[in-house]
Amino acid sequence: MSQPLRALIQRWRDDPGATYRSWFLWEERVKNFRSIRRGIQQVVADIEAGTFGNAYRGSSLETVVHSIAEQRQIFKGADHAFLWKPKLRIPDIYENSDNQRAFGRLLDACVCCNAEAQILAAIRQIDAKQIKGLGPAVANLLYFLHPTLIPPFNTAIVNGYNALTGAKVKLGRWDEFLAMRQGILALNAGYRDLLSNDLGAIGGLLFDVGSGRYAPPPREDDVAARVAWEADLAKVREESAKASKVLIAGREGDRTHTEIQGWLRDLGKALGYGVWIAANDRSRPYGGGKLADGCLERLPDMVERASGADAVRLIDVLWLDPAQDRVVAAYEVEHSTSIYSGIVRMLDLALGTDAHALEGLFLVAPNGREEEVRAQLSRPAFSRVADLRVRYLPYGELESHRDSIARFGSGMKAIHAISRTLT
C-alpha cells in the first residue's frame, strides 16, 4: 500500500471542508436513503402503470433526482444527465416507450435484489439496449439502493479515479464504469480501515481529488515531486481552518433543527401527548440532556406492524394519544433541505395507519420557505399529498406562541391556528 496515499486519505478525513466530514458523516445523508429508495420505487410504478409521461419536468424521476442533487456538493448537478436535450433527443427514455420500460426494469431489478451478480446483470442488460444518453449517471440512483456495491458517479469522481490510479476511464460508457467500479472496490479494500464498506466514502475522496481540492500523490521515486505535494497538503490544512467556519455554520443549522424538535417535544408533553423523537435523532444533546429524554421508547404495535414503519420511525417528531395508542400529529422539520424525504415519511405514516385518526401533518420550516414549500407540493409527483391536508408551521409562529399554548392550550386547535394549509 502507498504511504503517500494513506497520508492523503488521513488528511482528507480530518479536513472539515472535505466530503468525508461535510457529506459522508452528515446525519441527513443516511436518513434520506429510505425516502430516495421509495422515490425510485414510485418511478418504477409510474412506468409500469404507463403514467410516467414523456417529460422529465414534473415527473417522479425529477423529484427523486432533485432529492439526490441536494445531497451536498458531491451530487450537485446530478440532474443534468436526466434533463431532456431536445436537439440531441437524449436521454431517450421520454419519447421511446420501449426504452422507458427498459429503464424501469433496470430500476425494478435493483430495488428488488441484493445480490451483486443480479445487479451487474441488470446493468449489462440496459447497456445492451444502447439507449442514447442513458449512461452511468444512473449509478447515482443505484448507489442509494446498494451503497456497498455501486459507487456514485460523476465527472469529478472519474477524474479523481484516473488521477489516483493512472487509469484512463472515459465518461458515458457502462463498460468503462464497471471497470472503474472494480478498481474502486480494490482501492477501497486496500484502505478499508480509513474508508468504509459504504462506497460513498471513497466516492467522496475521488470527488475531492478530481475536483482539485487535493492533488494525487506523486510517484514514490520522485523525491522533488513528493516534497512539493506535501507542501500542497499543508496548504490544504491551512485552508481547512477557514473551511471549519463553514462547518460550524452547518452545525448551527443542525442545532437549529434539534432546537425546533426540542420545542415540539416540550410542547407535546405539555399538552399531554406522548412524544416520539426520530430514531436517529434520539441521542442528540439538548437542554442539558438528550433530545429523547422523557419521550416514548417505542411506537404502538399498530404503527410498528404497519407498512413503512421503518420510515415512520424517522419522522422528526410524533405526538401520540396515550389513551388510545394512536398517532395524533406528525412534524417534519425542514430547516434547509428538500421537503421530499419528509413528505415520503408522512405518506408512509398516513397510508400505513388509520389516516382519519391523524389530526395534523406539519412541515415546520423557516418563515421564508413557505413559497418554496408550496411550489414543491404543487408538482404532479406530489399529487397524492393533497388528500393528507399537510400544513405549514413557520418557525416564527411556533417560537412566538409555544409558551402560551403550553400553558393555556389543549388538543390540536392552537397548533392549527398558528399553521397554514398548503394543499
Of the two residues 41 and 236, the one the predictor is more confident about is 41
Residue 356 predicted with pLDDT over 70: no
Across the strands, what pairs with 290? Answer: 285
Helix axes 33-49, 60-69, angle to 10 degrees: 160
Cis peptide leading into 91, omega within 30 of 0?
A: yes
* DSSP secondary structure letter of residue 83: S
351 touches 379 (CB < 8 A):
no
Cα(363)–Cα(366) distance, integer angstroms = 10
* Mean pLDDT for the stretch of residues 343-348: 83
Q: What pLDDT is attached to residue 381?
A: 67
Helices in 70-193 by DSSP H: which ranges?
97-112, 116-129, 139-143, 155-165, 174-190
Tell me the per-residue pLDDT of 161-211, one tens digit each, with 9 for 90 and over. 999 988 999 888 999 999 999 999 999 999 999 999 999 999 999 999 999
Helix axes 3-14, 223-270, angle to 10 degrees: 30
Long-range contacts of 153-158 (CB under 8 A, 24+ apart): 153/177, 154/74, 154/75, 154/77, 154/78, 154/207, 155/210, 156/206, 156/207, 156/210, 156/211, 157/203, 157/206, 157/207, 157/210, 158/210
Cα(297)–Cα(277) distance, integer angstroms = 9
Cα(126)–Cα(93) distance, integer angstroms = 12
What is the chain's Cα-based Rg?
23
Across the strands, what pairs with 82? Answer: none
Q: How far is the CA of 17 from the CAs of 199, 214, 336, in angstroms?
A: 19, 12, 19
Cα(18)–Cα(207) distance, integer angstroms = 9
Residue 221 predicted with pLDDT over 60: no
Of the two residues 150 and 68, the one the predictor is more confident about is 150
Residue 393 predicted with pLDDT over 50: yes
Of the two residues 31 and 228, the one the predictor is more confident about is 31
Helix axes 174-190, 155-165, angle to 10 degrees: 60
Cα(286)–Cα(313) distance, integer angstroms = 20
Cα(181)–Cα(119) distance, integer angstroms = 13
Tell me the per-residue pLDDT of 249-304, one tens digit each, with 9 for 90 and over. 444 444 478 999 999 999 999 999 999 999 989 999 888 899 999 999 999 988 88
